[in-house]
Amino acid sequence: MDHPAHDLDTPEFRAKNPFGQIPVIDDDGVVVTESGAILLYLARKSGKLMPRDLAGEAQVLRWCVTALNTVEVPVLTMWLSA
Ligand SMILES: N[C@@H](CCC(=O)N[C@@H](CS)C(=O)NCC(=O)O)C(=O)O
């Protein structure tokens, strides 16, 4: 995707992600946006990276949400203000 050339603003891309952001995957018609959702989708699809038991799955979800909510926001804030 060529951001400066406005690839993210085309109707075709906006149909996949109305927010006009990457990453987006299109897995044989299964369109998934949001980095965390994509990782969870791929983890589940791999059959190896997502535990099948509820307690194990809860740990994967816990650390994904931690990365996106608790870690990413302050790290980005520090990075952007440096
Ligand atoms: N919450 C989204 C954020 C995605 C995001 O910020 N994407 C940026 C690139 S890293 C983007 O597409 N920026 C282009 C724009 O907003 O015009 C995710 O985690 O996937």
What is the reported pLDDT for 73? 93
Q: Tokens in use for 60? A: 């994967």
- Distance (angstroms) between ligand 1 centre and the Cα of 35 equals 9
- Which of 43, 41, 35 lies closest to 68, judged by CA? 35
Burial 21-53 (b: 16+ CB within 10 A, else e): eeebeeeeeeebeebeeebbbebeeeeeebeee
- Residue 38 CA, ligand 1 centroid: distance in Å: 13
- pTM, to two decimals: 0.91
Task: Give residue-wise pLDDT tens across range 30-57.
Answer: 999 999 999 999 999 999 999 999 999 9
